[in-house]
Chains A and B, each alone.
Chain A
């Protein structure tokens, strides 16, 4: 009987449950739902925060105007806004995407802004002297300069994002790993399945982290290039 299952099953039992649940067709759907929400919010946050960060980083005037807002909004643990967002945006995917977006947005904005502000004026002047106008400066300088900042911000906040996703998926949804874990743990009391969900959600977090890490290795090879006898720049 289910009620007699131990609260801490052995890894073997969990492994079997994981395979079984994956095979049944339900668990993959929950995984994909969670994955889709995180990826969508990552994309949205990069598309909005990166340009905003670039603009703020290069314009001291605009930065002065917005700095106080960012300063106060940045440290708020966005997880407390979950009920508010759900109230305004309802129970669909959008609410969950927006919540994660809020976390990622501020992280990316601040890091990209600081990176853009740290760009040496000599670099800008040198590239301008080669004939670069605004468009070329963006394409050849600002965009590649902000890549490390974007990827670092993503890497740092993907953990929090998955955690908050879990909380968001506890409320009024029928798909998602958070829902699946909670359902099996609290209602169905199917602990092996619950742990299977936890394992999968952990894997989701790891996948995203190492995925961003891999992106950084691929897109930013100069960061890891060694320094044989050269001056650090």
Chain B
């Protein structure tokens, strides 16, 4: 589904490359967590997957097509500030559809209708994400959890086949965070999209990713490796030995230089 081949990337004027000849393959409907410290390039990796930045060399291929611009079937949920402050929840959720009718199905900004899958309406997603009662409110009036639910609803209305999330729950309180983590996993199981979530929390990576991509090391000397998550799908018990072992392993790979 997603393939990065020999991708090298450095920000202009930034000096050392963040990624150098980086390879990665993500299978369809898989769930990956990208784990790394702040400033370690996780968001950059996500932006590369989203087509918001382009690699200096190498290429990113999604569903067989080389990525040259943001892809209409890819959904992106950022940590915060993704919603239009001047639009209500209902209007925000509807924004993607508005965008598509603004351009028409040109294949560039909006997908050409290839599969006749019935799409769910924005109202369905408002209900599904539990924000139907605040449909008329503005983002400034919502809690962090409600804002993220709105952002997720807005993305899912467009039936993405690839969902990218950048530390979506890190600014939420632990209870809301757990709620939304479970909800997102449930939605993933229902809709079967390919899922990549970026996080700096090891526990979140263990909860959300079938496989974990670890971006460790230091900027300029990145160390990248992957791990299959043997604990995926099971309720996480912090006191159990498998959990502690996996946790320590990840921690070691994160910090190792």
Contact = CB atoms under 8 A, between A and B. Distances in A.
Interface string A111-129: 0000000001011011111
Interface stretch (A180-188, A194-202, A203-211, A219-227): A219-227
Contact of A145 (B72, B86, B103): B86
A9 B18 CA distance: 79
B48 interface: no
Interface residues of B, number: 40
A233 B80 CA distance: 9
Contacts, number: 95
A129 B75 contact: yes
A139 B52 contact: no
Contacts of A133: 103, 108-109
Contacts of B78: 122, 125-126
B72 A131 contact: yes
24 contacts: A120-B81, A122-B78, A123-B82, A125-B52, A125-B76, A126-B76, A126-B81, A126-B83, A127-B84, A128-B52, A129-B74, A133-B103, A133-B109, A139-B102, A140-B98, A144-B86, A144-B87, A147-B86, A222-B85, A222-B86, A225-B141, A229-B143, A231-B143, A233-B81
B69 to A, nearest CB: 9
Contacts of A230: 140-143, 146
A232 interface: yes
Interface of A: 120, 122-123, 125-133, 135-136, 139-141, 144-145, 147, 220-222, 225-233
A191 B118 CA distance: 76
Contacts of A129: 50, 52, 70, 74-76
A124 B186 CA distance: 29
Contact of A131 (B47, B52, B96, B151): B96
Contact of B100 (A127, A131, A140, A229): A131
Given A135-B102, A144-B86, 8 more contacts: A130-B154, A131-B72, A131-B99, A131-B103, A132-B109, A133-B108, A145-B86, A230-B140
B34 interface: no
A122 B141 contact: no
B236 to A, nearest CB: 28
B252 to A, nearest CB: 32
Contact of B141 (A132, A141, A144, A226): A226
B139 A233 contact: yes
B82 A231 contact: no
A227 B52 CA distance: 33
Interface in B118-167: 137-144, 146, 151, 154, 158
B86 A122 contact: no
Given A125-B52, A231-B144, A233-B140, A130 B96 contact: yes
Contacts of B146: 230
A229 B143 CA distance: 7
Contact of B84 (A140, A227, A228): A140
Q: Which 9 A-B pairs give the minimum distances between C-beta atoms?
A: A126-B82, A129-B76, A122-B81, A131-B109, A222-B138, A120-B81, A233-B140, A131-B72, A225-B138
B163 to A, nearest CB: 11
Contacts of B138: 221-222, 225
B75 to A, nearest CB: 7
Contact of B85 (A125, A231, A233): A233
A135 B106 CA distance: 14
Given A122-B81, A131-B72, A227 B86 contact: no
Contacts of B210: none
Contacts of A139: 102
B81 A123 contact: yes
A222 B78 CA distance: 22
Contacts of A131: 70, 72, 96, 99-100, 103, 109-110
